[in-house]
Amino acid sequence: MIPYGKHLVDDDDIDAVVDVLRNQFLTQGTVVPQFEQALCEYTGAKHCVAVNSATSGLHVACLAAGVVAGDLVWTVPNSFVASANCALYCGASIDFVDIDPLTRNIDISALAIKLQHAANQNRLPKVLIVVHFSGLSCDMQSIRNLTQMYSIVLIEDAAHGLGGSYQQSKIGSCAYSDMAVLSFHPVKSITSAEGGAVLTNQSQFHEKFKLFAKHGVTKDPSQYQGENHGPWYYQQLELGYNYRLSDMQAALGLSQLKKLDTFIQKRSEIAKLYDKQLANLPLKLPCVDPQSQSAWHLYMVELTQHDRQDVYQQLHDKGVGVNVHYIPIHLHPFYQQLGFKQGDFPLSEHFYQNALTLPLFPSLTDGEQTKVIEALYEVLV
């Protein structure tokens, strides 16, 4: 079975992890800060805090933005549930903006209309979380122009995006946002087994990231309230969480980061071959945005003439492990209990009904990709 995604770990990665295992610190040593600095250097962001998952990163980002009970956060339905759950963790309410059927990212026109209506109703969101679906950046400049006039905090859910770019800047640079969140899950651009990071160019957010990800505790005397008892002393300033990344995970991530551009180049080559070879099939292929370079986390097609469940099963029977991304968040039972219903966001729902994710990962061989393409022709023609 050819999976839709797969990590690639080599001897250098293994050696990096073993080196940590042979040294004194497994959790809070020197490697996590090195990884954070390397992520800043790669993306161009000024500040970074590594965390144990992108979900934790989204939660920390919302906490840093000051999201509390009574606030409202917006995101898109076409994502994994973590993009919305992070608001609920803070006691806030969640709402959605539908997607552009071409880019599969947030619909800028729909966002503009919804913001104007929300302003008229005096119910604007405190935070907007945009998702770079499949690795293609949202139009961040246009989104920033819309949100800035309402003083909305803009967070990039860049879990799919590391290695991609927008207007010649790396995704994660925060050129048009307040914060960006990365994922290092095994099928993402690079992996630290589990892990994530939060990036920003604003020092006040960076200080909040560090507090909320590390129990709300600081050992920085300049932040103490009251007397400093000595070099062993620390204070809890916020109700924080244990979202730290270990040195062992950071060592894997740091080693992987050195190969990121090679990984993205291979993903891009695979995507271009799919574009060429699948052009004559009854499929809607991913769009190409001239101002962006996708990280190609996923290669998503939409069926235009066939039943998705039938095609899915036939491809699995042929050893091609296609997948589906994503069940729209508002259709899950938990979110339906919050009042959302089918038909609320029809473009996301339509995409879900016809979407298939094809295998794409750096170690996908020419022979495996040929097998995928041949299987698609056998099923669809």
Which tens digit of pLDDT belongs to each residue from 37-96?
Answer: 999 999 999 999 999 999 999 999 999 999 999 999 999 999 999 999 999 999 999 999
Distance separating alpha carbons of residues 258 and 127, to the nearest angstrom = 33
State residue 23's pLDDT score.
87
State residue 13's pLDDT score.
98
Q: Hey, what CATH class is 11-257 in?
A: alpha beta
Amino acid at 38: A
Distance separating alpha carbons of residues 16 and 19, to the nearest angstrom = 5
State residue 19's pLDDT score.
95
Q: Which residues have a Cβ under 8 Å from the Cβ of 48 and sit 6 or more positions away?
A: 36, 37, 39, 40, 197, 198, 199
| Residue 197, strand partner residues | 50, 182
**Domain ranges, ordered by start, for the chain:** 11-257, 260-380
Distance separating alpha carbons of residues 326 and 336, to the nearest angstrom = 16
Token code pair at residue 7: 């990590």
Cis peptide before 42 (omega within 30 of 0): no
pLDDT below 70 — which residues of the chain?
none
Element (H, E) at 284: strand 283-284
Give the phi and the psi of residue 195 in degrees, each rounded to 5.
160, 170
State residue 28's pLDDT score.
83
Distance separating alpha carbons of residues 140 and 19, to the nearest angstrom = 40
Give the homologous superfamily in CATH for domain 260-380. Aspartate Aminotransferase, domain 1 (3.90.1150.10)
State residue 24's pLDDT score.
79
Q: Which residues have a Cβ under 8 Å from the Cβ of 71 and sit 6 or more positions away?
A: 87, 90, 92, 93, 125, 126, 127
User: What's the gap between Cα 180 and its chain centre?
Assistant: 9
* Topology match between the domains 11-257 and 260-380: no
Distance separating alpha carbons of residues 185 and 252, to the nearest angstrom = 12
Predicted model pTM: 0.97
